[in-house]
A and B are shown apart, each in its own frame.
Chain A
């Protein structure tokens, strides 16, 4: 059996939150016991709403913050035992907002070459050549090599951000909402580009998004996160046709496809996120769940096997 490129084993991140002077600090569990396996060449999507812990998980994968407990492994080797530079070479990010993730005072050539310079790879001439190759790969004209971010459109900037991520020849791209700041027609171009690059460079994507239509389009597997925990993890087909967790189903109901005959969904789940400092007892989703029973109030569900995945619900099967 091949070793998965990314493994998360019971990964937990707890932040202490000041409650005010003379009061003990509260503990906020941003990510609680997340276990995931990402196979090489796969697009593994992570969906969830703001505050669900998606971005904290992304930060830990990028080595920007350490898990409080649990272990992240790349090719079977724990990140904690790997040199930070090595992690950065293997795993690269593409962020949501190309307006704020690119330094406006650097030219495109400098921006794309920055990771090479930081890692001391190549000579000035070889880096220049590499930058030109990257521009070709992401579909930017070579004349843009001296342009600045301010002279570019949102889609072009996101292409620069992708080129910068790819220049280190990483194994995994962590894409954190890579198209949600872009217009519809530009989003399609970037999604097409990401799919092309994945084939060309044999990449693995960890794709964080709240747009389920986009996730359905490009993910192989999907993890649904709620209040720091994975509530369901399925193959794409299984999740989109037979989601088991009530929260996954609620999210799917909220996908507004452009079909006027459907109107708004009949029911949407009420309420919003509970306070993560004092999460509800039992299943964290039970206050919003239409099917909650006494058992859900009392007992947190474990991961139960369902077709092509797992779901954390007492009534999953």
Chain B
């Protein structure tokens, strides 16, 4: 049984202009020890998808799914209390900007121990010991002295480490990290990503990494799911998707980034013309077809998912054309 099994997740947001189809029939599974990267640009629905797993969507968003199971637990049927018990205990979330997700009025120690004492019958001293242990584990020196500090007294890298330590307090089975390193400097980003990878291996957790950075995806993830306009357009093992990107959008994204040693300095980068379609109202056919240089009439009809190899799937009617690397 997979740790997480999401079948046809849909998120709709009512707006004044009509119904916004933010996420449209997204399905994936995650095993323990796997790292799934959900990658996409702004508005692709990647963050909403991760929030939907934790039942943290804005109240007006409507979440639907054929089924959504976490370790056998039906997340669609789980009540508010049940979700509160799961969150922070067996499922934890790490957000992009630790400054806004840490409470500025409480010390690091208060926030770390609360995460544990909310779910486990432990004493203050035991919770404190675990907090110190985890702060050391995430590479914070003088961990005991940090417990009395407030978030504003820490650097961005330290705050993100505190967030990770907080997520680990109850040894969760699943960690969802939404752009965990986007606000950080490159050397700190590398430190945090290696830390997440090591901890995930050590604890055998499932890790979902939500990001727009294809370099991070390639280096850290085992599986990747590319989202566009609320849909998964290509999924598969990271070697397959980066080795043989097949959906025209995935190919376009990879052509748009400069890669030292591959792109020629000063030469024009590949671009994707046009803009993301309006997701309000019904949207038939392939959402990418207005920007796709290979689009045909068939793209206006429903797009079947097709298998390209073991675990490698895409939603495109066209036969994949290899791109020169």
Min CB gap B248→A, angstroms? 12
Instruction: Mark B97-110 against chain A: 1 for CB-CB distance below 8 A, else 0.
Output: 00000000000000
Let me know if B259 is at the binding interface, CB within 8 A. Answer: yes
| B242 and A260 contact, CB distance less than 8 A | yes
Min CB gap A285→B, angstroms? 12
Compute how far the CA of A236 lies from the CA of B265 in the bound complex, rounded to whole angstroms: 9
List A contacts of B194 (CB < 8 A).
264, 268
Chain A residues numbered 59-74 whose CB sits less than 8 Å from any CB in chain B: none
Q: Identify the stretch in A9-17, A160-168, A248-256 within 8 Å (CB) of chain B at 4 or more residues.
A: A248-256
| A218 and B266 contact, CB distance less than 8 A | yes
| B239 and A254 contact, CB distance less than 8 A | no
| B190 and A254 contact, CB distance less than 8 A | yes
| B214 and A258 contact, CB distance less than 8 A | yes
Min CB gap A185→B, angstroms? 4
List A contacts of B266 (CB < 8 A).
195, 217-218
Chain B residues numbered 206-258 whose CB sits less than 8 Å from any CB in chain A: 212-220, 238-239, 242-243, 252-258
Compute how far the CA of A50 lies from the CA of B185 in the bound complex, rounded to whole angstroms: 7
Instruction: Mark A248-292 against chain B: 1 for CB-CB distance below 8 A, else 0.
Output: 001101111111111111001110110000000000000000000
List B contacts of A273 (CB < 8 A).
155
List A contacts of B258 (CB < 8 A).
191, 213-214, 216-217
Smallest CB gap from A214: residue in B: B258
Instruction: Mark B186-220 against chain A: 1 for CB-CB distance below 8 A, else 0.
Output: 11111101100100000000000000111111111
Let me know if B269 is at the binding interface, CB within 8 A. Answer: yes
Query: Most chain-A CB neighbours within 10 Å: which of B155, B212, B271?
Result: B271
Min CB gap A199→B, angstroms? 10
Let me know if B42 is at the binding interface, CB within 8 A. Answer: yes
Let me know if A187 is at the binding interface, CB within 8 A. Answer: yes
Interface SS of B by simple majority: helix
Instruction: Mark A11-35 against chain B: 1 for CB-CB distance below 8 A, else 0.
Output: 0000000000000000000000000
| B187 and A256 contact, CB distance less than 8 A | no
| A188 and B256 contact, CB distance less than 8 A | yes
Compute how far the CA of A285 lies from the CA of B14 in the bound complex, rounded to whole angstroms: 53
Known contacts: A254-B189, A259-B218. The answer to whether A185 contacts B256 by CB under 8 A is yes
List B contacts of A210 (CB < 8 A).
185-186
| A254 and B187 contact, CB distance less than 8 A | yes
Compute how far the CA of A262 lies from the CA of B259 in the bound complex, rounded to whole angstroms: 14
| A195 and B268 contact, CB distance less than 8 A | yes
List B contacts of A218 (CB < 8 A).
265-266
| A183 and B219 contact, CB distance less than 8 A | no
| A184 and B212 contact, CB distance less than 8 A | yes
Question: Of the candidates A183, A260, A263, which one forms a contact with B41 in the assembled complex, judged by CB atoms under 8 Å apart?
Answer: A183
Known contacts: A254-B189, A256-B219, A268-B190. The answer to whether A184 contacts B268 by CB under 8 A is no
List B contacts of A236 (CB < 8 A).
265
Min CB gap A317→B, angstroms? 24
Smallest CB gap from B189: residue in A: A254
Known contacts: A183-B212, A185-B252, A188-B270. The answer to whether A257 contacts B189 by CB under 8 A is no
| B157 and A272 contact, CB distance less than 8 A | yes
Let me know if B145 is at the binding interface, CB within 8 A. Answer: no
Let me know if A49 is at the binding interface, CB within 8 A. Answer: yes
Known contacts: A50-B185, A212-B260, A251-B187. The answer to whether A185 contacts B265 by CB under 8 A is no
Known contacts: A195-B268, A253-B190. The answer to whether A184 contacts B239 by CB under 8 A is no
Question: Of the candidates A192, A240, A255, A264, which one forms a contact with B197 in the assembled complex, judged by CB atoms under 8 Å apart?
Answer: A264
Smallest CB gap from A240: residue in B: B260
Question: Of the candidates A153, A195, A212, A259, which one forms a contact with B186 in the assembled complex, judged by CB atoms under 8 Å apart?
Answer: A212
List A contacts of B238 (CB < 8 A).
260
Smallest CB gap from B217: residue in A: A258
Smallest CB gap from A213: residue in B: B258
Compute how far the CA of A31 lies from the CA of B102 in the bound complex, rounded to whole angstroms: 32
| A191 and B259 contact, CB distance less than 8 A | no
Let me know if B263 is at the binding interface, CB within 8 A. Answer: yes
Smallest CB gap from B269: residue in A: A188
Compute how far the CA of A191 lies from the CA of B253 in the bound complex, rounded to whole angstroms: 15
Let me know if B59 is at the binding interface, CB within 8 A. Answer: no
Compute how far the CA of A99 lies from the CA of B243 in the bound complex, rounded to whole angstroms: 36
Compute how far the CA of A218 lies from the CA of B265 in the bound complex, rounded to whole angstroms: 6
Compute how far the CA of A188 lies from the CA of B194 in the bound complex, rounded to whole angstroms: 28
Known contacts: A192-B268, A258-B217. The answer to whether A184 contacts B253 by CB under 8 A is yes
| B260 and A257 contact, CB distance less than 8 A | yes
Smallest CB gap from A192: residue in B: B268
| A153 and B268 contact, CB distance less than 8 A | no
Let me know if B296 is at the binding interface, CB within 8 A. Answer: no
Let me know if B309 is at the binding interface, CB within 8 A. Answer: no
List B contacts of A261 (CB < 8 A).
239
Question: Of the candidates A188, A216, A269, which one forms a contact with B265 in the assembled complex, judged by CB atoms under 8 Å apart?
Answer: A216
Chain A residues numbered 173-211 whose CB sits less than 8 Å from any CB in chain B: 183-185, 187-189, 191-192, 195, 210
List A contacts of B239 (CB < 8 A).
260-261
Q: Interface residues, chain A, CB within 8 Å of chain B?
A: 49-50, 153-154, 183-185, 187-189, 191-192, 195, 210, 212-214, 216-218, 236, 240, 250-251, 253-265, 268-270, 272-273
4 closest Cβ pairs, A-B complex: A256-B215, A217-B258, A188-B256, A49-B185
Given contacts A183-B42, A268-B187, 8 further A-B pairs with CB under 8 A are A188-B257, A256-B216, A258-B257, A258-B259, A259-B219, A263-B219, A272-B185, A272-B188
